[in-house]
Amino acid sequence: MKITKVSYDRLDLRLAVPYTIAYETISKATNFILKLETETSIIGFGCSAPDTLVTGESPLEVEELIKNIIEPYLKGKDPFTYALILAELRQSLGPKSSTLTMVDMALHDLISKKAGVPLYRFLGGYRDRIPTSITIGILPLDQTLAQAKDFVGQGFTILKIKGGGNLQADIEKMIRIRQLFPKITLRFDGNQGYTVAESIDFVEKTAKVGIEIFEQPTKLGQEENLGKVTGQVHIPVMADESLKTLRDVFRLAKKGRVDMINIKLMKVGGIMEGMHINSVAKSANLEVMVGCNDECGLGIAAGLHFALSRPNIYYADLDGHLDLLNDPITGLFNLRNGVLFPTTSPGLGNVHL
């Protein structure tokens, strides 16, 4: 099987409701869909979701890389040599992680379609479903409670609350949500907004809430502070922004900085690199979540298949598609009562644009 044609579509997607995290407000997202055709009837698709802060790329950069590097390089290549392809592209692209993810995803889609099985089974098929959290951004208390009520009414059993902007407001939100929903699983994302002292204060004052995961409370680049929090609180601390590369997870694990890591395919460079990172996490006894950016259904599907393939990936935060108003890619998975189920079709499923 050889790649005979490379093309792409740009998706400029609007969010139904803009959301705020500790360091920015987001109202739109740009995704790219890479299409790899072969001399057979098999077509592979990949997704890029660039974010200047997270992936180090702008949409303009991704588009130029597709035209100038990816398209001429991939023509004539055998998808089954994906390790070589991705290694050479990494040298050419540099630290442009979602661009590399897009290629990685399309290659995995091709080879699992050639094998005739869904991608999660090609990768190992450890489980066939996983519950996902749904995220509430930084909102006033009344709006936070209203959104929580809406999500629980839709069947979600795991809520992730964004914070980091106002310690006392964050504490009150978590306490009030727990009072309203005593059986819902709660996670909290500090989005790098806290000091060490604030992080410890937050955990102590929400002790009765029963927060399952405390995500990235301190700033990127201050791993000692992250480790200080981990060493002084009773709930699991998870690295998100602090983890972008294989070296990052090795360093975090070696120095005991965290209890958990959040692997987002867009920020680490794709499924193959995610597998390497996950293996280091497993060797260090770190639990793993698979997360996402603001991604269309194709990106979320890839994250889902990756999450289903490995026994030590216990958690998913794959809700980045839910607020996109004009996402043309649907039907690649099912979401029922907060649980994600993959396609039964080969690869990532049947993509229609």
Give the catalytic positions in this structure: 162, 264
Work out the angle between the directed axes of helices 141-153 and 167-180 (0-180°, nearest 10).
40
Work out the angle between the directed axes of helices 271-283 and 82-93 (0-180°, nearest 10).
Answer: 100
Check residue 322 and report its DSSP letter.
T
What DSSP line would sit under 220-236, residue for residue?
TT-HHHHHHHHHH-SS-
Residue ranges of alpha helices (H) inside 50-162 are 59-65, 71-74, 82-93, 97-115, 119-123, 141-153
Give the SS3 label for residue 264: strand
DSSP 120: H
Q: Give the C-alpha separation, 288 to 169, whole Å.
A: 28
Picking from 322, 308, 22, the residue whose alpha carbon sits closest to that of residue 191 is 22
- Strands 25-38, 3-20: pairing kind: antiparallel
Pick from 102, 130, 123, 121: which is nearest to 33 by CA?
102
Report d(CA 108, CA 95) in Å as an integer. 21
Q: Is 101 exposed, middle or buried (0-12, 13-18, 19+ CB in 10 A)?
A: buried
- 240 annotated as ligand-binding: yes
172 marked as binding residue: no
Adjacency order of strands within the sheet including 25-38: 3-20, 25-38, 43-48
Q: Is 317 annotated as a binding residue?
A: no
Q: Which residues are part of a known binding site for Mg(2+)? A: 189, 215, 240
